[in-house]
Structures are given as C-alpha cells and as structure tokens.
Structure 1
Amino acid sequence: MPFRSPSTALCLALLLSACGGGDAPATAADRHGHAHGEAAAAGHDGEAGDGHAEDDDDHGKGGDRTTIPADVAEASGIRVAPAGPGTLADEHEIQGLLTPVEGRVAQVAARFPGPVRQLLANVGDPVRAGQVLARVESNQSLTEYSVAAPISGVVLARNAMPGAIAAESSPLFEIADLSTLWVDLHVFGADAQHIRPGVPVTVTRLSDGATAGATLERVLPGTATASQSTVARATIDNDDGLWRPGSAVKARITVARRPVPLVVPLAALQTLDGCEVVFVRQGEEYRAHPLRLGQRDALQVQVLSGLEPGDAVVVEQSYLIKADIGKAGAAHEH
C-alpha cells in the first residue's frame, strides 16, 4: 500500500488561522502557547461561574473546543496519549490462499487388491502415525490385512466404502499434517519488484479477523498461470486448527520502515469543518487542532504541522469529542 500525503488548501488555511493569523503565520509553538493561555483564562472564568460560560463563548467564536469533566471522560472511555516520534511502514496488502505444506500430505493405499471389510476413520478425524484406518481382505491370500496411517494428521478425504473392491495401490484415504500451513500470496504488477524474502508478513483470517505473524520465506520463480501473478510464500502455525487449507486470507507485507519525528494514530483523526483534526486535552478542555499531514501507513500518520511533541492527543473515542463540539455549537445557534 503506497504512502499518501492528504493535505488541502482548506486544511492549510484553517491551520494558519488556528495558529494565530496576522501578517506572518504563527509557528506551532506560538499556537501552542496561545492555546494554553486561553485554557488558563477559561479556568479563571470558571471559578466565578459554572465553568461553561467561556466554553459557550468559544463555540460561538469557532466551535472548535468543548469541556468534559475528567470523571465523565474516563467513564466514556476517552483516552489520551502524548504525540511523539514513530516509525512508518511501507506496506503492501495482498490476497492469498492457505495450502498444506508440501511433503506433509499422504495418500493411504491398499497394498493388495480385495474387498474393504472395515473403515475405521472418517473425514475430519485426527489420526496418529501407525493408527489402523481400514481392513482389507486380500484376493490372493483371502486373509485380512490392516491399512495404517503413514503420518499423523487429519483425514482430508475417504475414497472407499465398506464392501467395495480396493484396487492395488488405489488411495483409500488422504491425510495431511495441518499443524503448519503455507500462505501463498499472489503479487501483481510492480509490487513484485519490491517484495523480497525475509520481510515480515501479517496474515489475517477473513472468518474472524484473527491474525498471525510470519516471515516471507521465498518468492517463487514462476508465474501463476491463471492469475499471471507472482507467488510469495510464508508459513504460519495452525495450533488452533482454525486456519483451513483452501481458505482465502489477506496479508500485509512490510517492505520497509522509516522513522518520522511526529505521528498520531489514524484512530485519533476526525474531520471538522472539512479538515482533518485531532483533539488535544488541556485540563478538562478538548480543542481541535487542524493538521497538515504527511505520509501514513495502516496505523498512523505523520504530522507536519499543527501539533507539538507531548501534546495530549485523544486516541480513543475521539468521535465523542467531535459529537460534543457539534452539540454545543448547535445549542449556541439556537
């Protein structure tokens, strides 16, 4: 997934306006100090009144802040974290297919032709190496012999019925050791040029969203005929048995990582007045900070301006802050 740099003229105008205005745009530090000053003023006014008069006036001026008591914020699940440096990942999201590991699948065949007298396993049964799966009567000796599992695993197929004639070397069962599985990822176009063995892979199970970490082991030299894709392969553990051969999965391959000086989680972003913002807590006040954003990955985004390192950014339940600001703005209009 390539990096994106979503910045617009409107967001930049809002950012400069929020930073102070005047003949020269204020710096992020100026804006930050101004915000603290206003928060302090709001605190003094609150001592003389009910604590919300200044907040209502702020909504009338810009509708970019609200006050939420600390106990209410905690009960609502609002959480903050300091903005700071981070690492952005260059990632590619790719579709894949789970397959049994080659060499861990066995065909269980009759040694001598004759009628199948007994079948002792069904599809889906776990079996161990040496376990008897069937008994067949030999046409030559007219005596029964046992057919045993050559490996431990799970029965994937049963190809015989009691009383049917088993031909010599005809497969009666198919068994696979599914404790580990291959993840065959289909890479298309130019993405194949960036993917190399040894990079980390996160595989997601589509049925329930469970994930497994792995390392890309190899990029196969050929091309898949049907899809014209390059196949990149990783191996995952299947301890819970819920990763099923033949199932489609999605995977995120991390090609490279690079440090950046200031990031925020994508979950912290909200849209206010057409601009991407985060909410910064100062005391019990939460103020919207319009941001100029840089590159991003699946989890976080680089902040170019509009925020200072250490700012207490709302990283959980930020939509509640947005809703509260909207509610307060609507009440002020009425």
Structure 2
Amino acid sequence: MSAFQPSRRVFGAAMTALAVTLAACGSGGGEKAEGEHGEAAAEYERGPHRGRLLRDGDFSLEITIYEEGPEPLFRLYPYLKDKPLDPRQVQATIALTRLGPKVDRFAFTAENDYLASPGIVSEPHSFDVAVTAVHAGKRSSWTYQSYEGRTIISAEAARAGGVTTERAGSAILGENLPLTGRVEIKPEGLAEVHARYPGRVMSMAVELGSPVRRGQVLARVESSESLQTYAVTAPISGIITAKNANPGQITGNGAPMLEIGDPGQLHAEFFLYPRDAERVRVGQRVEVRSLTGASRVTAVIEAILPSADLLSQTLVAHVHLPAGSGGWRPGQGVEGSVQVGAGEVPLAVQTKALQPFRDFTVVYAKVGNTYEVRMLDLGRRTEEWTEVLGGLEPGTEYVVDGAFLIRADIEKSGASHDH
C-alpha cells in the first residue's frame, strides 16, 4: 500500500482545492442533501429538508435527492427571505457533468411545495453540478462538485500497485456445470498376467509396485505336463498393481498371477446425474482439478458410457488426462467443470474485477489518472467473465488487477456514502 501514499496526498489536495462535498445520507428520512457523502464532508448551509441551500440575495434554493421511491429523484425547494416560495413562480434546471464526460440534464416543474423532475439521478452520484433558477425575471446560477467513489492515483503509483485495465466489450460466456469423479487407469492401460500352462511357480522377479517394461521376464513356471520351465513376460509396460502368486504355488487355474497398470494412461471418470446428462456432450472441454487444487488440466470428454447405474441412474463421462499433465493417481478423487450453453454476450467484464461498494457490485472506471465506481446490473457469471446488463458503457476502460487497492484508497479517503 505504500505505493498509494502519494496518490492519497494528491487526492487530499484535490479535495481541498475543489471543496469536494462528501457527506453521509441521513437516516431520518427519504431525502438527502445532493452531494452528501461521508465523514470528510465540507461544511455548507443546509435547508429545512437537510438539503444543500444555495443563496442568491433574498432568493434561495434547497437541493435534495428523494430516495423513498424505486429510483432517486431531485426535489428542489425554493425560498424567498427564508420563507417557502410557491414553486410555480420558479423555473429551474440542473446539469450534471460526469466523469467521461457525460452530461445529464434535468428540467423541473412545480409539484406540491417543491420542484420535481422525472429524470432519475443515476448512480454513481458523482458529478460536477450546475444549477440555474429564474424567479421574478432574475436568473441565479451556482456550480459545485459532488463526488463519491472517486480517487486520483498517479500512473507511477498505479503501476507500482499492480493495477491493470482493459476495455469493456463482448465475451463468450457459458454456464459452468460442476462435476465430481475419480481418476482411473484406462482399459488399454490394464493387463492381467497369466501362466500359459498350469504348473509350479519356480521364481518371481517382481514385487507389488515394481515398474516393468513390455517383454520383461516376470516369473518362471515349471509346466506340470512337460516339467519344462518357461518364462512369463510382461504384456505391457507399467506398474505391478496386484500379485496373486508366489514361488512354490501352483498357477494356471484361470486366476491371473499378476496385474499391471500403466500410470501414463489415465482418464477421469465423471458422474453425470440425469438432470445434467443431456447437456454434456463428447468433445466438450472440462477443467479437471485435484481435490487439493494442486493439479489441474483442461481436457476433452472422450466418451460417455451409454448405460446408467441402476441405483443412482448416473452416466459416466471419460475425460483423457494427458501424460505429464499433473500428479494424478488412480483412485484419486477429482472435481471438474464443463462449460455448457456457451454464447456471446454484448458486454462483459472480467469476474476478478468485481468489487463490493455499499450495496452494489462495481468495477472501477479509469479516465486519465482518475478512478470512479460504476454500479453494475449483472447477468450470467463464470469464473472468467461476468455479463453486464447495465451501469457500464461499452468501451469503458476499467480496472482488472489491483481493483481492491483502488477500493481501499477510496475508502480511506472517505469518498463514499451510505444510502
């Protein structure tokens, strides 16, 4: 965090120079002062509705944001010599210049004892404000800054903190279906070793767990008919996984003397439940992970066995594990995820860029050296990408790596508020 110390000084200086107004929303009602944003708020005069009071001689205008309804809306209360003024005698407009820049404009009409606008004050409530009001032929104008979720960080400090960005755009998303299973040796990697002729085992050259190569002599057996001794060799290379005979025993009764497994020929067997089986297909890619997460590999579904287990009704999908792809062991439990229903969405951000801010999930937009929250309406999510349904313009540069550092810098500066 030391890399961000200079930026906080820059931010503090900017706050002082611009008289940024930050104060928390009051808990006692549906209206808050426009620009109320936290503990570091600059002092300003408040009106009877706890809004920001703007004065021009005997005329004054109180700015509030009404948040009891589904969306926040401006309400303006006019006064003349500090007495409530009929709002029908006032014409007012507000322009909000946002980081980017983008300008939201509001025109007001009289309603009850205040001026109202149908325009929604969209999040974030972070903008430069320009207010114009006309009463009795006299025009009054005011400007001020009202920022939240915003900070300034130098390019050097951002690089030192590992901050990276990219542009928001389209992405390929699919639902990730979780799978469970185990590692097994493939059928072609298994072999039983039998004596060709019944007889007595004269010698055994291997032990359980011994590595062997194809053609290697494993044992010698004396034929019970010819009394000739012959060699028993390995049909494949691998590891001795079972040993059912020892010197002096009679073999050739149908049971294998030895069993060999090739640990280089492995696959993962994943169990597909009935509700998921129809969504999984041969050729789909699966991320296979050990239960500890130490080993992982992306591989392809080779086959789905046609027969279901009688009790569980599960099918089994086989996923080839390339040799040398990890420390896989036969019988080891594994997890997996297969992407189903993949398709392109018009706007998405990297999932790791998402951060909490008040009651929202946000990313941090970057404009020059300024960073500011963007509250998102989200759709589908995968480990890599999250669909954005609203709250972010396509092409916006946003923070991917180091987003938590931006959040910490904003929280320390007090540039946030509670709704």
Q: Same fold (TM over 0.5)?
A: yes
Does structure 1 conserve the Cα–Cα contact (< 8 Å) formed by 2:297 and 2:326?
no
Q: How many Å separate the matches in 2 of 1:306 and 1:233?
A: 42
User: Does residue 165 in structure 1 map to residue 249 in structure 2?
Assistant: yes
Structure 1 match to 2:340 = 255
Structure 2 match to 1:104: 189
Residues 241 and 151 from structure 1, CA distance in 2 versus in 1: closer, same or farther, beyond 3 angstroms? Answer: farther
The match for 2:268 is 183
Amino acid at match of 2:119: A
Structure 2 residue identity aligned to 1:295: R
Distance 2:386 2:379 in 1: 7
Q: CA deviation at 1:62?
A: 5.2
Q: 1:255 to 1:133 in 2, by over 3 A?
A: same
Distance 1:186 1:82, change over 3 A: same
Is 1:222 the counterpart of 2:317? The answer is no
- Classify 1:166/1:82 alpha carbon distance in 2 versus 1 (closer, same or farther; 3 Å): farther
- In 1: Cα distance, 2:325 partner to 2:282 partner: 26
The superposition leaves residues 56-107 of structure 1 with CA deviations (integer Å, 9 ceiling, x where unpaired) of x98xx55412222222221221111111111111331111222222233111
Separation in 1, partners of 2:256, 2:415: 74
Which residue does the alignment assign to 1:156?
A: 241
Tell whether the 8 Å contact from 2:170 to 2:347 is kept in structure 1 after alignment.
Answer: yes
TM normalised by structure 1 equals 0.76
Aligned residue number for residue 120 of structure 2 = 25
Offset at 1:118? Answer: 3.3
Change (3 A) 1:77 1:190: same
Contact 2:149 2:415 in 1 (8 A): no
Structure 2 match to 1:268 = 353
Contact 1:262 1:309 in 2 (8 A): yes
Structure 1 or 2: more strand by fraction: 2
Instruction: Please list, as runs of the form range in 1=range in 2, the aligned pairs for 1:295-334 lying within 5 A after superposition.
Output: 295-329=380-414
CA contact (8 A) 1:110 1:170 kept: no
Secondary structure of 1:150's counterpart equals coil
Tell whether 2:316 aligns with 1:199. no
Contact 1:178/1:241, CA 8 A, preserved across alignment: no
- Read off the aligned partner of 1:90 and give its amino acid letter: E
Helix, strand or coil at the partner of 1:77: coil
Moved more, 196-205 or 309-318: 196-205
1:239 Cα shift?
A: 2.9
Give the aligned partner of residue 221 of structure 2.
136
CA RMSD of aligned residues (A): 3.5
- SS of the residue corresponding to residue 321 of structure 2 reads strand
Distance between the aligned counterparts of 1:247 and 1:87, measured in 2? 32
Task: Please name the residue that 2:13 is paired with.
Answer: none
Query: Is 2:331 the counterpart of 1:246?
Result: yes
Deviation at 1:256, TM superposition (A): 2.6
- C-alpha displacement of 1:153: 2.2
Alpha-carbon displacement from aligned partner over 1:137-169 (angstroms, at most 9, x marks no partner): 4455555432210112222222334x3414214
Counterpart Cα distance in 1 of 2:205 and 2:153: 67
What secondary structure, in the 3-state scheme, does the structure 1 residue paired with 2:242 have? Answer: strand
Q: Which string of whole-angstrom CA distances, capped at 9 and with x for unpartnered residues, describes residues 97-126 of structure 1?
A: 222222331111233445544332333433
What is the count of residue pairs matched by the alignment? 297
Following superposition, the deviation at residue 314 of structure 1 comes to: 1.0
Q: Aligned with 2:328: secondary structure?
A: coil
What letter corresponds to residue 273 of structure 2 in structure 1?
A: F
2: CA distance, partners of 1:109 / 1:103: 17
Q: 1:327 to 1:315 in 2, by over 3 A?
A: same
Cα distance change on mapping 1:107 and 1:164 into 2, 3 Å: same
Which of 237-246 and 283-292 deviates more? 237-246
Do 1:98 and 1:249's aligned partners in 2 also have CA atoms closer than 8 Å?
Answer: yes
> Do 2:208 and 2:243's aligned partners in 1 also have CA atoms closer than 8 Å?
yes
In structure 2, what is the Cα distance between the partners aligned to 1:174 and 1:138?
Answer: 21
Moved more, 111-120 or 258-267: 111-120
Paired letter, 2:251? A
- Residues 291, 306 of structure 1: 8 Å contact kept: yes
Matched AA of 2:363: V
Q: Give ranges in structure 1 of 5+ residues lacking alignment.
A: 1-8, 39-56
Matching residue of 2:52: none
Cα 1:328–1:276 shift into 2, 3 Å:
same
* TM-score, L = length of structure 2: 0.62
Assess if the C-alpha contact under 8 Å between 2:195 and 2:232 holds in 1: yes
Confirm or deny: 8 A CA contact 2:201 2:248 kept in the other structure. Answer: yes
Higher relative contact order (CA 8 A, sep 6+): 1
CA contact (8 A) 1:63 1:326 kept: no
Secondary structure in structure 1 of the residue aligned to 2:330: coil
Contact 1:268 1:318 in 2 (8 A): yes
> What is the CA-CA distance between 1:288 and the residue it aligns to?
1.0
Structure with the largest fraction of helix = 1
- Tell me the equivalent position of 1:75: 160
